């Protein structure tokens, strides 16, 4: 058994060594070999030179010079550091001739008269360029009026510049201003008509009353009454009762009202969950704001809806059952006050 373990350990060590040797050999094999210069490479470089003595890499041939003086040494270093100065193009020579300084000042060409443009800064720049570099050919400005470039006999007189305050608004601004003015006029006219319509009604001449009462032995619950009133656009207000206004949002004049049939006839919105009553009463006065027939129709429909929601019974002002004859009697009373 011991011999078997020894043999296995020796084989494992040999395998590990073989793996390491193979790995080093693979790494060395994959490394790029350095390029060795031979005589042929030097020969090719010597053969592939242009007429100025430079090879494909831009390297010139080795030149041996005698060290005669410091001036020759500096010139040789300059030639070796910057070989491109030996071959100057015609454009370089022209540039040197163009920008060479001269002792004699250049004769300033007479300036041609130009019409002033809208931008003063462009005129100043042109004058500065003329003083420094001589006459500069006039170029049309982006902001220059085409009339100024015409001949004197074709030029038209230019109008005086208008101040920014005197500029008229654009079409969009004008439309907005007109719309605002029309809106203000419509609001003022509406307020004037409302003031004319809102004349005092005077003392009430008649009161139309409707009752919604619970069945015998039962009560109307406030938890069911409040959601029904809000659905019918009633709003809690003056005298601690609910009112129906001209607008469904609860604004405008009061058309008719709703109170508790049990004294003192008021409601407490914070205690509607525990509130119970024998009945409620709806009433409107004559004359009233708006159309009296329309107001009574809305009050009658509200009373029918409350009776259905609360399980009550609709009665007239004398607490008698409501019928078609009572309805015609109420309509007759409204027509009498018209």
Mean pLDDT of all residues in the chain?
A: 74
Q: What is the DSSP letter of 273?
A: T
Q: Angle at CA 105, nearest 5°, toward 102 and 110? A: 135
Mean pLDDT of 26-36: 72
Query: What CATH topology corresponds to 206-337?
Result: Cell Division Protein Zipa; Chain: A, (3.30.1400)
3-state secondary structure of 197: helix
Mean pLDDT of 182-209: 72
pLDDT in tens, 131-175: 444 444 455 444 444 444 454 444 444 555 544 444 445 566 777
Residue 250: C-alpha distances to residues 230, 235, 255, 273 (Å): 10, 6, 11, 23
Higher pLDDT, 47 or 155: 47
Q: Which residue has the tokens 């007109």?
A: 178
What tokens does 53 get? 């003595």
Residue pair 22/16 in contact (Cβ under 8 Å)? The answer is: no
Rounded to two decimals, the pTM is: 0.44
Q: What is the DSSP letter of 35?
A: P
Mean pLDDT of 5-19: 91
Residue pair 142/118 in contact (Cβ under 8 Å)? The answer is: no
Question: How many percent of the chain have pLDDT more than 70?
Answer: 55
User: In this predicted structure, what is the pLDDT of residue 131?
Assistant: 47
In 3-state terms the chain splits into helix, strand, coil percentages (rounded to 5) of 45, 10, 40
User: In this predicted structure, what is the pLDDT of residue 266?
Assistant: 95
3-state secondary structure of 245: strand
User: In this predicted structure, what is the pLDDT of residue 255?
Assistant: 95
Residue pair 315/305 in contact (Cβ under 8 Å)? The answer is: no
User: In this predicted structure, what is the pLDDT of residue 31?
Assistant: 75
Cα(119)–Cα(141) distance, rounded to whole angstroms? 9
Predicted confidence band of residue 329 (pLDDT cuts 50, 70, 90): very high
Q: Which residue has the tokens 């030097």?
A: 42
User: In this predicted structure, what is the pLDDT of residue 2?
Assistant: 76
Q: Angle at CA 332, nearest 5°, toward 328 and 336? A: 170
Mean pLDDT of 299-327: 95
Q: What are the counts of helices (DSSP H) followed by strands (DSSP E) for the chain?
A: 9, 8
Higher pLDDT, 51 or 134: 51
Predicted confidence band of residue 194 (pLDDT cuts 50, 70, 90): low
Alpha-helix runs per DSSP H in the chain: 2-30, 39-47, 70-81, 90-98, 120-133, 171-197, 222-231, 292-310, 324-337
User: In this predicted structure, what is the pLDDT of residue 182?
Assistant: 80
Inter-axis angle of helices 324-337 and 292-310, nearest 10: 150
pLDDT in tens, 230-278: 999 999 999 999 999 999 988 999 999 999 999 999 999 999 999 999 9
User: In this predicted structure, what is the pLDDT of residue 59?
Assistant: 72
Beta bridge partners of 257: 243, 283
Predicted confidence band of residue 90 (pLDDT cuts 50, 70, 90): low
């Amino acid at each position: 058994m011991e011999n078997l373990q020894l043999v296995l350990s020796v084989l494992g060590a040999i395998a590990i060594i073989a793996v390491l040797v193979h790995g080093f050999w693979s790494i060395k094999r994959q490394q790029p070999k350095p390029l060795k210069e031979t005589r042929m490479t030097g020969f090719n470089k010597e053969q592939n030179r242009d007429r100025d003595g430079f090879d494909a890499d831009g390297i010139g041939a080795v030149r041996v010079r005698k060290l005669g003086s410091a001036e020759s040494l500096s010139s040789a270093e300059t030639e070796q550091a910057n070989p491109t100065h030996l071959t100057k193009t015609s454009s370089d020579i022209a540039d040197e001739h163009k920008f060479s300084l001269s002792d004699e000042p250049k004769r300033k060409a007479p300036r041609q008269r130009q019409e002033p443009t809208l931008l003063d800064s462009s005129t100043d720049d042109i004058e500065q360029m003329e003083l420094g570099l001589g006459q500069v050919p006039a170029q049309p400005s982006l902001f220059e009026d085409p009339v100024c470039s015409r001949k004197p006999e074709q030029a038209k007189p230019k109008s005086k510049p208008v101040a920014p305050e005197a500029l008229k608004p654009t079409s969009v601004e004008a439309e907005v201003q007109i719309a605002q003015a029309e809106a203000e006029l419509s609001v003022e006219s509406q307020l004037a008509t409302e003031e004319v319509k809102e004349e005092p009604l005077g003392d009430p001449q008649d009161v139309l009353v409707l009752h919604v009462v619970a069945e015998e032995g039962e009560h109307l619950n406030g938890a069911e009454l409040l959601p029904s009133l809000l659905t019918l656009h009633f709003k809690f207000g003056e005298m601690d009762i609910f009112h129906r206004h001209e607008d469904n949002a609860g604004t405008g004049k009061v058309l008719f009202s709703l109170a508790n049939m049990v004294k003192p006839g008021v409601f407490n919105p914070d205690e509607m969950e525990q509130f119970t009553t024998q009945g409620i009463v709806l009433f409107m006065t004559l004359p009233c704001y708006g159309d009296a027939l329309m107001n009574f129709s809305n009050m009658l429909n509200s009373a029918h809806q409350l009776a259905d929601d609360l399980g009550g019974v609709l009665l007239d002002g004398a607490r008698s059952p409501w019928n078609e004859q009572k309805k015609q009697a109420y309509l007759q009373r409204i027509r009498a006050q018209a």
